Amino acid sequence: MTVRVRFAPSPTGMFHVGGARSALQNWIYAKQQGGVFVLRIEDTDAARNKPEWTEGILSALDWIGISRGSYEGPYFQSANAGEHRAAAARLHDSGRAYYCDCTREDVQARTGSQYQGYDGYHRDRGLGPGPGHALRFRTPDEGSTVVVDLIRGEPTFENKLIEDFVIARGDGSPVFLLANVVDDMTMGITHVIRAEEHLPNTPKQQLLWEALGVKPPIWAHVPVVVNEKRQKLSKRRDKVALEAYRDEGYLAGAMRNYLMLLGWAPSGDREIVPWSVIEDEFRLDEVNLSSAFFDEKKLRAFNGEYIRALPVAEFIDACQPWLTGTGTIAPPPWQPEEFDADAFAAVAPLAQTRIAVLSEIVPNVDFLFLASPLIDEAAWTKTMKDGSAELLDDAVAAFEALESWDAESLKSTLEAVGAERGLKLGKTQAPVRVAVTGRTVGLPLFESLEVLGRERTLTRMRAARLRLV
């Protein structure tokens, strides 16, 4: 038997990080088993679907390493509508489903019988199809439904506690529950790997598989992803869009690595490991049962480690979208013609050790590409105190006399200026840093001044001095 898994997102917005984790888990499992990964877009809710959201799903999968052409699909659920209706008809013809015209108010009025929710009122009344007549599945009165789950063992559900659930609406359109089962049957899905939030629906789906005469798939329900308050990640409340992390400058490798740790861990006392190790070691039966905490701070730390591990040339390439304003949400504060690739290459190794996401490159290097620095007024107020004007005068004079404009000479010269005033280097360089870069923190100062050059450095220091008059 060839293992066939599927990832079946709905194109109703940005791509959820929890969905990305499920996609990766399915992808790895299929690869380990020599199987097939199927992508199905569940697009039957036409009112909520947009073509650009489908493209967003494909692009997000590309980014995390599940590239187009390497999987089967994408298929679209809406294209299988005929099979959905045919399955509903077979269930009715076989006596496994019946029509019901009860309204929600009717159901609520009769709650309290042996059934949970709907009480089976129309089970044997022979109602035929018609406007407002929903089709309900006839759940067995006795026995139980056992779900064989690779992670959770064998959850067991008493059939008498499962109501006769709707499988087709009053207008004849099948509901998602039935469509999902029929699609999996049509595509020959052997394993369904998804979040535990779907577990309550699983006995209903398994009953549908059995009623349609097909052996159910093997299930695997991975833990739900939660925020720091242990609430399920919500698009309305939490930062969950994979695209947002991509556009902020998270590396795909870091994101893949971190997502796979949500509910599972590689061998040994380690978390940051090569993708090849994850592909080799991941096991569904080793996934934890408890909820998985999506810790953005930890992800950020992961990303910083991945950035620092890049060869410098790759780091320079990775920063280009933010430096040139292509492919990012916010353009840089300089014009394209002001960007100096050689100057950036000179400071790239310094910047690489100081940023955790690629978008942070801009405030670290913007002083190199602007005619004048963007002054952080709070930094200016904090730094430019009594004595700063005279210190800048002395520093300008000392720098003007330098024969060699290099980081070592600049440092020793400014140290001497500060020593004459009884100041340590940290206090001495603060006004110079704000004058030249506009900020109190950033890249190493003297290496920055070397790259910025004598003329631009002195011009900025003189401008800052004039502002202190």
Question: Alpha-carbon distance 335 to 321, whole Å?
Answer: 13
Q: Does domain 4-76+177-225 have CATH number 2.60.120.10?
A: no
Comparing 18-32, 53-67, 111-125, 375-389, the range with the smallest average pLDDT is 111-125
Q: Global pTM?
A: 0.91
- Residue 114 pLDDT > 70: no
Question: Alpha-carbon distance 426 to 69, whole Å?
Answer: 56
* pLDDT at position 120: 80
* pLDDT at position 469: 81
Average pLDDT over residues 10-20: 89
Whether residue 224 contacts residue 196, with contact meaning beta carbons closer than 8 Å, is answered with yes
pLDDT-based confidence at residue 47 (cuts at 50, 70, 90): low
Question: Alpha-carbon distance 214 to 402, whole Å?
Answer: 85
Q: Does domain 242-305 have CATH number 1.10.1160.10?
A: yes
Query: Which CA distances in Å does 422 have to 391, 417, 425?
Result: 12, 9, 10
Average pLDDT over residues 150-175: 94
- Residue 117 pLDDT > 80: no
* pLDDT at position 328: 77
Q: Where are the domains of the chain?
A: 4-76+177-225, 83-176, 242-305, 310-368, 377-467
Q: Count Cα atoms within 13 angstroms, Cβ side, for 187.
A: 31
| Positions marked active-site | 235
Average pLDDT over residues 2-16: 91
- Secondary structure of the chain in the HEC alphabet? CCCEEEECCCCCCCCEHHHHHHHHHHHHHHHHCCCEEEEEECCCCCCCCCHHHHHHHHHHHHHCCCCCCCCEEEEEHHHHHHHHHHHHHHHHHCCCEEEECCCHHHHHHCCCCCCCCCCCCCCCCCCCCCCCCEEEECCCCCCEEECCECCCECCEEEHHHCCCCEEECCCCCECHHHHHHHHHHHCCCCEEEEEHHHHHHHHHHHHHHHHCCCCCCEEEEECCEECCCCCECCCCCCCCEHHHHHHHCCCHHHHHHHHHCCCCCCCCCCCCCCHHHHHHHCCHHHCCCCCEECCHHHHHHHHHHHHHHCCHHHHHHHHHHHHHCCCCCCCCCCCHHHCCHHHHHHHHHHHHCCCCCHHHHHHHHHHHCCCCCCCCHHHHHHHCCCCHHHHHHHHHHHHHCCCCCCHHHHHHHHHHHHHHCCCCHHHHHHHHHHHHHCCCCCCCHHHHHHHHCHHHHHHHHHHHHHHCC
**Which tokens in the block code for residue 98?**
């019946």
Question: Alpha-carbon distance 443 to 450, whole Å?
Answer: 12
Q: pLDDT averaged over the chain?
A: 93
- Residue 377 pLDDT > 70: yes
Residue-wise pLDDT tens digits, 410-464: 999 999 999 999 999 999 999 999 999 999 999 999 999 999 999 999 999 999 9
* pLDDT at position 112: 54
Question: Alpha-carbon distance 76 to 41, whole Å?
Answer: 5
Q: Which CATH architecture has domain 377-467?
A: Orthogonal Bundle (1.10)
* pLDDT at position 110: 67
The amino acid sitting at 116 is Q
- Residue 84 pLDDT > 90: yes
Average pLDDT over residues 339-351: 97
Whether residue 135 contacts residue 98, with contact meaning beta carbons closer than 8 Å, is answered with yes
What top-level class would CATH report for the domain 83-176?
Answer: alpha beta
Give the distance, in angstroms, between the CA of residue 336 and the centroid of all CA atoms in the same chain.
30
pLDDT-based confidence at residue 46 (cuts at 50, 70, 90): low
Residue-wise pLDDT tens digits, 278-337: 999 999 999 999 999 999 999 999 999 999 999 999 999 999 999 998 877 788 999 988
Q: What percentage of the chain has pLDDT greater than the value 70?
A: 98
Whether residue 206 contacts residue 162, with contact meaning beta carbons closer than 8 Å, is answered with no
Average pLDDT over residues 163-177: 93
* pLDDT at position 111: 62
